[in-house]
Amino acid sequence: MELFGLVDCNNFYCSCERVFHPDLIGKPVVVLSNNDGCVIARSNEAKALGLKMGDPFYQVKDMLEKNNVAVFSSNYNLYGDMSKRVMSLLSRYTPKLTQYSIDEAFLDLTGIDNLQEYGKEIVRKVGKGTGIPVSLGIAPTKTLAKMASKYAKKYKGYEGVCLIDTDEKREKALKLFEVGDVWGIGHRNTKKLEYYGIKTAWNLTQKSASWVQKELSITGLRTWKELQGESCISIEELPHKKSICTSRSFPGVGLDKLQDLEEAVANFAASCSRKLRDDHIAW
């Protein structure tokens, strides 16, 4: 059986900052976009305070101060450098590594014995060697590996590794996973799917292939197959985005001051450039 590992660095930008400020481990940290427009990375402690991605800095400034949150301007040279260190360490553990974004990589783990232990060793070594905590999901398809990495991050007891290598584990993972969080499905489809009673990844796998192709196109069908354990997305053809978008609607009657509009556009532009950098489309 083919097996893929997906390594994802936890709260990457915040973790990079902590490498050089170890006193901040266990404390709330956020990183702001260019020109300090909005929040683009949060440590777990910052998430627990209710801070959201894209929160405009001026709106949360007082709250950050009140809660002693450490605030950093983004430093992409540092993040790029730390990313290289993580990738170079990871490459020791696989004959084939494919970097997917600044903080994610797929590893070919086919044919390796005792993967649970091997995986924990990878997580430990990267953590020790770089100071960056990572999560590792291992599964027979890339879509399931991505899902497993989220479980690895979520449950402390997993020690950073979640292995989905049996149908039983796959079924359990699918049943607890919201369909909109599935890689390649996305939240744009959740309303439609919910209308058909599809809330979890498992619900989706219970639909027929023809139904899925009709409602979610050929791309959705491939995701559906991957969720069933059939690997059909090769690393070379992983989704490469053709467009990047950040959009919000304004509450009430909208904006009536030019300054507010300028601020909003600046924040959205910063969010888009972050997405571009994350996908290595720009630096």
Interface with Mg ion (CB under 5 A): 8-9, 12, 103
Which 3 state secondary structure label does DSSP give 137?
strand
Half-sphere exposure at residue 21, Cβ-oriented, CA atoms within 13 angstroms: 15
Cβ proximity to Mg ion: between 61 and 275 the closer is 275
Return the number of the residue (9 or 161) whose C-beta is nearest Mg ion: 9
Identity of the residue, 136 or 204, whose beta carbon is nearer to Mg ion in the bound complex: 136
Minimum CB distance to Mg ion smaller for 3 or for 9: 9
State in angstroms the smallest separation of the CB of 7 from Mg ion.
9
Q: How far is the CB of 15 from Mg ion (least distance, A)?
A: 9
Least CB distance from residue 118 to Mg ion, whole Å?
21
HEC-encoded secondary structure of 74-133: CCHHHHHHHHHHHHHHHHHHCCCEEEEECCEEEEECCCCCCHHHHHHHHHHHHHHHHCCC
Work out how close the CB of 138 gets to Mg ion at its nearest, in angstroms, rounded to a whole number. Answer: 17
Closer residue to Mg ion, CB minimum distance, 215 or 279: 279
Phi, psi of 108 (to 5 degrees): -80, 115
- In the complex, the smallest distance separating the C-beta of residue 101 from Mg ion, rounded to whole angstroms, is 8
Give whichever of 11 and 273 is closer to Mg ion, judged by the CB atom.
11
The letter for the amino acid at 272 is C
Instruction: Please tell me the distance from the alpha carbon of residue 276 to that of residue 283, in angstroms, as a whole number.
Output: 8
Query: Around Cβ 117, how many Cβ atoms within 10 Å?
Result: 11
The span from the CA of 248 to the CA of 250, in Å, is 6
Q: Minimum distance from CB of 76 to Mg ion (Å)?
A: 15
Scanning 155-257, the segments in alpha helix (DSSP H) are 167-175, 190-195, 201-205, 209-227
